[in-house]
Amino acid sequence: MVTEVFLDEVKLKVTDYRENVICDPISKKELHHIAIEFKVTSEEYHKVTTLLYEQNFNVKVPLTKLEFRGTIANYSTSITNLYKEDEVGIFKLELMEMR
């Protein structure tokens, strides 16, 4: 099971991972799509959200050797205020390979 995914050089310890390939209707090219879930503590919150504001990343999944340039297709979190000490949120993130 995949337990880590890198966005640029930042390692995320994932608790859920799904991977598939989607055919782009315009280019007919196969594009990678991954969906991940990971925990974010109040201490990590600023670093992670600042990273996600970038929108586009070099995505690496070491276990499967998957690498692509990706963009956020969908994003959600279980909590919106992780500035309180000792809080933990669940982040869900979908990344699509860029054309």
Residue 96: band (very low, low, confident or very high) from pLDDT cuts 50, 70, 90: very high
- SS3 call for 3: coil
Domain CATH for 34: 2.40.30.80
What is the pLDDT at residue 84?
82
Q: What is the pTM of this model?
A: 0.92
For residue 4, count CB atoms less than 10 angstroms from its CB and return exposed for 0-12, middle for 13-18, buried for 19 or more: middle
In this predicted model, what pLDDT tens digit does every residue of 50-91 receive, in sequence order?
999 999 999 999 999 999 999 999 999 998 778 888 899 999
Residue 39: band (very low, low, confident or very high) from pLDDT cuts 50, 70, 90: very high
Domain that holds residue 72: 4-97
What total number of domains does the chain contain? Answer: 1
Q: Do residues 65 and 21 lie in contact, with contact meaning Cβ atoms separated by under 8 Å?
A: no
